[in-house]
Amino acid sequence: MKYILSLIFLSTFALSSQINWIRTYEEAQQISSKLNKPMLLFMNRKGCGSCQYMKENVFTDKEIIDFIDKRYVAVSLIIKRNDAPKLFKTNKTPVFHFVNADGEKIYQTLFGGKTAPFFLKLLKKTLQEDSK
């Protein structure tokens, strides 16, 4: 019985310790509008080493997970098949767009993988720029 309870606890903890990614731009835009939060668009593809680095080393960082989930609508879009406006389409990965619910950029586009401390600092800076 203790084993089962431990498994339930660990699986619950694991589920709550990851970013809640939205998989379509349209749905993210609706949520962004309702919650009055900007969107973080993560444009990625299979086979991209930097994308994988971000998924395994940056998006697993507790501080980044908490920051993104509280302050952004996180959107993960595969570059080859997504519903993002043409303005955000790209062939390079990873690419990060910081966008409001109206589809307007609130900060410059970021290209390439970054370390967790750098990425967190950037996330905070984008919100400061948006509030000006």
For the chain, what are the domain ranges?
19-130
Three-state SS at 92 = coil
Helix (H) / strand (E) element for 42: namely strand 39-44
Which three-class secondary structure state does DSSP give residue 6? helix
Instruction: Please state, as a whole number, how many other Cβ atoms lie within 10 Å of the Cβ of residue 44.
Output: 20
CATH 3.30.110.40 fits 19-130, yes or no: no
Q: What is the mean pLDDT of residues 71-85?
A: 92
pLDDT for position 13: 42
Residue 38 has pLDDT above 80, yes or no: yes
pLDDT at 10: 41
Joined together, the tokens standing for residue 45 give 């593809």
26: confidence class by pLDDT, cuts 50, 70, 90:
very high
Q: With cut-offs at 50, 70 and 90, classify the pLDDT of residue 81.
A: confident
Judged against a pLDDT cut of 50, whether residue 24 lies above it is answered with: yes
Choice between 68 and 129, residue whose per-residue pLDDT is larger: 68
Q: Is the pLDDT of residue 76 over 90?
A: yes
Residue 89 — φ and ψ, nearest 5°? Answer: -70, 145
59: which residues sit within 8 A by CB, 6+ positions away?
18, 19, 65
Are the C-beta atoms of residues 22 and 31 closer than 8 Å to each other? yes
Say what the pLDDT of residue 91 is.
87
For range 107-128, the mean pLDDT:
94
